[in-house]
Structure 1
Amino acid sequence: MPSDAKILIVDDHEDTLYALESALAPLGYRLGRATSGDEALKQVLRGQVGLLLLDVRMPGVSGLDVVRYLRRLEQTQHIPVILLTGFGADHELTAAAFALGVADLVMKPVDPWSLRTKVRYLYDAHQRHLALEHEVRELRALVKDHDPVAVGARPARPARPHPDPRVPPQRDVEQPATAQDRT
């Protein structure tokens, strides 16, 4: 289900970018690249990023800093992020990453098959989520734009005059359907 959204791969080492692009190419998704946290933020804020594959430790803006910033903005807070680290398991890093809502923390060197599986699942789930949000917005607009009759409400019946002019006009009160009416 490839869409216009790309997978943005962010790492400050060209050889790692190339390896990750090669690992993900068989999926057929559009791939983008960035070599710094600043560049990654600019691309994500321009839109059309469906998943972020992000190195944790980069000069300047780190991967965790990028995620912290993205999670503060409504337009980017739900983009799935896979963090990559070449420094081994670190309890503080793991706790910080998952506290920020990172989808996964992957150790380098990366197993291409495992990475493709994770990326496909996260990317497709995010695209389905966006499609559902879009559909909900469209349905809400349709309901808002339609009159109450179209959405199931019954119009008020006009008041009927009573034969005796001293009795104020009465509205018909709907009677529940009888067993005979239902047959």
Structure 2
Amino acid sequence: MSYIQGYDPETLREIVDPDECRRRLAEIGAQRSLPSLLEKVWLLKVLGELDEALEVSEQTVRLARMSGTRKDLLRARILHASVQHWRGAYGAAEFELSTCADEAEGQGWGSITAFALQHRGKTRYDAGDINGARADFKQVLFLRQEAGASDADLEPTMLCVEAADRKRHRGAVVAG
């Protein structure tokens, strides 16, 4: 089940039903499997419970490091970086996401590369690096198209490209 109802066209953040997210958090409870913890981090993040999301994301990275695969560790690190981003630690988030994207690309893991670049683009967008964000979103679009993603799966990334274009245009109009 997807808890995402859409995306805010200005902030690029997920629009969720908070009640559904809280219900799912209650269902997860104290489960300690890696998939459960990853989901818990995301739910806490989108609910704005960023201190707890950071704490759980750090646990998730440790768990993935000890007992997961390299892909699991990358996913956990990307999610941890996305929490850092939402907490305003743009530099730390961008660095971690760049490292994850490079590692995933080196392994030929296109979907994980796209996942890292999507989050890095959002981090750059919020940090004011609109050109960097747009470049990341365009690369994500290319990677996902190359992997055969459906139009519905490409739509969130296309919305990000459009948002970056709007912001660039507004910046050019203000500067001009």
Instruction: Please give the TM-score of this superposition, normalised by the length of structure 2.
Output: 0.30
Query: Larger Cα Rg: Structure 1 or Structure 2?
Result: 1
Task: Name whichever structure is richer in strand by fraction.
Answer: 1
Instruction: Please give the TM-score of this superposition, normalised by the length of structure 1.
Output: 0.29
